[in-house]
């Protein structure tokens, strides 16, 4: 695997990474990789996941029926 060197990391960012690595039980290297992956390659939601998430939010707000339509739901369903 390739290596990456990051220079001039602000001390407060480095400390936050150390704390986060400790909390998650990861090494600093694994924590940095996890942070980069979540920022650069976020997980894609399926149409069903989006609908379920919006339905739950809609119910929490005391609304009934489906949440507003989003065009990506249709495109995802056609795949």
Q: Examine the domain organization and report whether 4 and 39 are in the same domain.
A: yes
List the domain range (segments joined by +) for residue 57.
Answer: 47-77
Q: Is 50:73 a contact under the CB 8 Å cutoff? A: yes
Number of structural domains (the chain) is 2
Q: Examine the domain organization and report whether 1 and 37 are in the same domain.
A: yes
pLDDT in tens, 42-53: 778 888 888 888
pTM of the model: 0.54
Q: Examine the domain organization and report whether 3 and 25 are in the same domain.
A: yes
Q: Examine the domain organization and report whether 4 and 36 are in the same domain.
A: yes
Q: Examine the domain organization and report whether 38 and 3 are in the same domain.
A: yes
Q: What is the C-alpha separation between 78 and 7, in angstroms, rounded?
A: 45
pLDDT in tens, 12-64: 999 999 999 999 999 999 999 999 998 998 778 888 888 888 888 888 888 77
The DSSP letter of residue 46 is P
Angle between helices 28-40 and 11-24 (to 10 degrees): 100
Q: Examine the domain organization and report whether 14 and 27 are in the same domain.
A: yes
């Amino acid at each position: 695997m390739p290596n990456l060197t990051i220079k001039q990391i602000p001390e407060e960012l480095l400390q936050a990474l150390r704390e986060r690595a400790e909390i998650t039980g990861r090494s600093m290297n694994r924590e940095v990789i996890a942070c980069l992956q979540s920022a650069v390659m976020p997980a894609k939601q399926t149409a069903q996941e989006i609908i379920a998430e919006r339905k739950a939010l809609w119910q929490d707000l005391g609304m009934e029926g489906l949440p507003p339509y989003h065009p990506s739901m249709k495109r995802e369903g056609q795949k």
